[in-house]
Amino acid sequence: MDNSLAGKYISFNGDSICQGTGCPGGYALIIENECSIRTQNIGVGGATVTFGVPGLYGKSRHYISDTIDKMDAEADYAIIEGGANDAGHGVPLGQLSEGFDAELDEETFYGAFELMLKRLIIRFAGKKYGYIASHQTSKGFSVTTPPEKSYYWAARRCCEKWGVPFLDLNSTVPPFIFFKPGSELYPLREKYTYNADGIHPNEEGYRKYYVPKIVAWLKTL
């Protein structure tokens, strides 16, 4: 069996899907145990890419774009994931900047995402890095939404511009949130997401839909 990841050190940063609301440690911990690697996971539930989104109950929010420096620079791989909460909060999309030296507005999704990628490739120069687009959790963060309104397509455009590898789980994992009670598909939502919330994978959901795809992708970086 190919276990080319064995012994590697991977730093993860993202939101609740990274953190593991429905399965403590999320996909990072499962991959750590399955592939004999070491991980750092600084994902936090409710995290956004964009800076300035109010936190819950007066608490400060984890801004992925602003926490790249908390990812261990000694890691062999640096993997980021996020954007669904930005879509859920309706943060301003903004627009893709021209060139690579423009001033970036971290209170827009495009600006914060570009800034996040810029910080990522500088901090992990010479290392391996990438971005994971999670499964569909809203119409705003969806491959099926028109590009001019979609945070998914904004993330994809930014990754293409900055040359950051992009793992597309948005179009390869079922959109559980849209499987309504009483439908033929609802049992999948019950089986693979935490308390059938349609958003957070449980352990079965991670193992079936996330871990195999992430592991295969990591080996290509």
Q: Rounded to whole angstroms, how far apart are CA atoms 49 and 108?
A: 9
% of the chain surpassing 90 pLDDT? 93
Distances (CA, A) of 152 to 131, 132, 135: 12, 11, 10
Regions of the chain where pLDDT drops below 50: none
Confidence (pLDDT) at 58: 65
CA distances, 143 to each of 78, 127, 166, 172, 201 (Å): 24, 29, 13, 10, 19
Q: What's the pTM value of the predicted model, to 2 decimals?
A: 0.96
List phi, psi (to 5°) of 206. -60, -45
Distance, in Å, from the CA atom of 43 to the CA atom of 12, rounded to the nearest integer, reads 7
Which residues have C-beta within 8 Å of that of residue 111, sequence separation ≥ 6? Answer: 50, 94, 97, 104, 105
Order the strands of the 9-13 sheet from edge to edge: 38-41, 9-13, 77-81, 128-133, 166-168
Q: What is the pLDDT of residue 1?
A: 55
The pLDDT assigned to 60 comes to 81
SS3 string, 91-119, reads CCCCCCCCCCCCCCCCCCHHHHHHHHHHH
pLDDT digits (tens, 9 = 90+) for 192-214: 999 999 999 999 999 999 999 99
Nearest to 66 by CA among 11, 12, 119, 128: 119
CATH number for 29-218: choose from 1.10.1370.30, 2.70.70.10, 3.30.1490.20, 3.40.50.1110: 3.40.50.1110
